[in-house]
Amino acid sequence: MKPVLCAVLFALIAPVAVAAPEDPLDALIGQYETHVRQGDPDQAGEMSDAEPVAWRDVSPGALAARAARAEALLAEIKAAETARTLDQAILARLLTDEINEYRTDSVRIPFTGDWGFQAEPVFAAMRYRVRTAEEAEAWIARLNDVPRYFAQNRANMTRGIESGWTSNIDPLNTVREQIAAQITEDVAASELYRPLAEIGEGVDPESRSRLQEKGLEAAGRAIAAYRETLAYIDETYAPAARVGAGIAGLEGGREVYAALVGTHTAGAGYSAEEIHAIGLTEVARIRAAMEAIIAETGFEGSFADFLVFLRTDPQFYAQTDGELMAAAKEISGRLDAILPLYFNRLPRLGYTVDPVPASIAPGYTSGRYMSGDPAEGRKGAYLVNTYALDQRPLYELPALSAHEAVPGHHLQIALAQEMEGQPRFRQNYYATAFGEGWGLYAEWIASEAGLMQTPYEEFGALSMEMWRACRLVSDTGLHWYGWSREEAEACFIENTALSPLNIQTEVTRYIGWPGQATAYKIGELKIRALRADAEAALGSAFDIRAFHDVVLGQGAVPMDVLEMQVKNWVAAQAGQAKAAAP
């Protein structure tokens, strides 16, 4: 007999106060949080106020034990009779993705080109603030743990060599550059030491001096681990790097890719073949819109000629780092101003506009968002790449800013972080298709709101959208159909105004991060389709701000869950409108 029914019968027999039965998911959430703390210090830090003092344990034994715990917990969560179905669905997806990551042995290639174990300490240092002696000790402990973490990753890479699962040489070269950038003789000037160089005034001078001395020794050990890893790449790993661009030709590669697509598209339910076809359709649609804008400008020449014009004319490029950063800040201010037209709820947490760190800029994307922390009062950061200014066109900056700052990633992520009454895993959950789909949808909102001030900026926005459509074609081409790098680059070269460096950097990223690039367009198309359906169903009763509240109101969710939420809202709104009609 179910607990609720038992309580009702008991109340009929003896009318005494009976406590509401505890939802079984409460205990399971606690078990999940323990599972995270045991296996991922960074996620554990996001789920509590404790500072992490180590990096993950990525040894085969630790990963096998973690996967076994995840499978057991997943079975319990799926079997739970709970009223908290959204929490249940998200927990199930988080654990399923973790199990799939273990089954595909993804740690054999522990980097993507612009991210990986080599970048984690650098970004952690960027985010870390030392205000107390305890926080200083925690960062010193993390620096001392870098050699162990890097050694485990090298061991996994060696297993990759032995099993034929190695990186392509192009993302590997980017990783090599990032590692080399951290090797410095002046430890005090290193990015890894910076949190300790900036110890807050709350630490007394004697303790500060002692902690900084310990920190220099720890940072020196971390830099030595970078140096050892660079030698390993040059002497052992690079000679074994795969020649083929994608993973389609590796043993089990297509099966792994199918699993990765499922993870990144977060319940959208498309196969690799379907995604490829969607990409081709989107490329044709966007190309027609781009041709119309070229005609509007009066440009005399072919589509290819117009792209050459955009890629080479100095008027479209900043001459200094400061000019590019000023433009990004000015555009971000204009984006801030349109938010009340589209949203009832805005985040309390602000954001900054900062340059990408110089040491990682050469192989880094044009822009990225780094989340803040409402509890600490640390703002989010929209990072702009100032490396190679002649490859950073100003006409793409409005769309890029809308995606990375507002109404894109900062708005969506900060609102999720500020949700009240939700467990931490919900506040920090990031479904790729939801988050990146929202970022691309935010670019569309910016165009809809009239943010683009010239036909060139309108073309730049379409070029950015075309970029994501080509991702569907190229990513599936690389990893499902076995395309070469040149075949994967063709869609971008022929259809976008992206600079040659951007195209090279992006395709390197897709080579090194199978499946992730499919999430953007798939997520955006789903959100736009849900909006179109809501507008058609509700007519004059449709409220764009209320629609956006529904989409963002529960934080990131799987795409199938989002569809259910919006359809339920539309039905409720239609019922209210019908009841209010005379």
pLDDT digits (tens, 9 = 90+) for 358-377: 888 887 889 999 999 998 89
Least confident of 125-129, 326-330, 398-402, 557-561: 125-129
Note the pTM of the prediction, 2 decimals.
0.86
Decide: 451 and 334 in contact? Cβ < 8 Å: yes
Asked whether residue 15 carries a pLDDT value surpassing 50, the answer given is no
pLDDT for residue 9: 28
- Give the β-pairing of 351-355 and 380-384: parallel
- Give the β-pairing of 380-384 and 367-370: antiparallel
- Alpha carbon distance 485, 474 (integer Å): 9
Sheet holding 351-355, edge to edge: 351-355, 380-384, 367-370
- Alpha carbon distance 253, 172 (integer Å): 19
- Alpha carbon distance 168, 242 (integer Å): 5
What are the C-alpha distances in Å from 562 to residues 56, 504, 533?
31, 34, 13
pLDDT tens readout for residues 32-75: 999 998 887 776 555 555 678 899 999 999 999 999 999 999 99
Give percent above pLDDT 90 in the chain.
85
* Buried b / exposed e along 281-305 (16+ C-beta atoms within 10 A): ebbeebbeebeebbeeeeeeeeeee
Beta-carbon count within 10 A of 392 CB: 25
Token pair recorded at residue 77: 């969560």
pLDDT tens readout for residues 479-519: 999 999 999 999 999 999 888 888 998 999 999 999 999 99
Handedness of CA 298, 300, 305, 308 (dihedral sign): negative
Contacts of range 209-217, beta carbons closer than 8 Å, 24 or more positions apart: 211/133, 211/136, 211/137, 211/140, 214/140, 215/136, 215/139, 215/140, 215/143, 216/187, 216/188
- Please state the three-class secondary structure of 62-77 as a single string: HHHHHHHHHHHHHHHH
User: What DSSP letter does each residue of 283-349 carry, written as one string?
Assistant: HHHHHHHHHHHHHHHT--S-HHHHHHHHHH-GGGB-SSHHHHHHHHHHHHHHHHHHHHHH-S---S-
pLDDT for residue 114: 77
Q: Which of 496, 458, 457, 455 is nearest to 296 (CA)?
A: 455
pLDDT tens readout for residues 142-186: 999 999 999 999 999 999 999 999 999 999 999 999 999 999 999
- Please state the three-class secondary structure of 84-134 as a single string: CHHHHHHHHHHHHHHHHHHHCCHHHCCECCCCECCCHHHHHHHHCCCCCHH
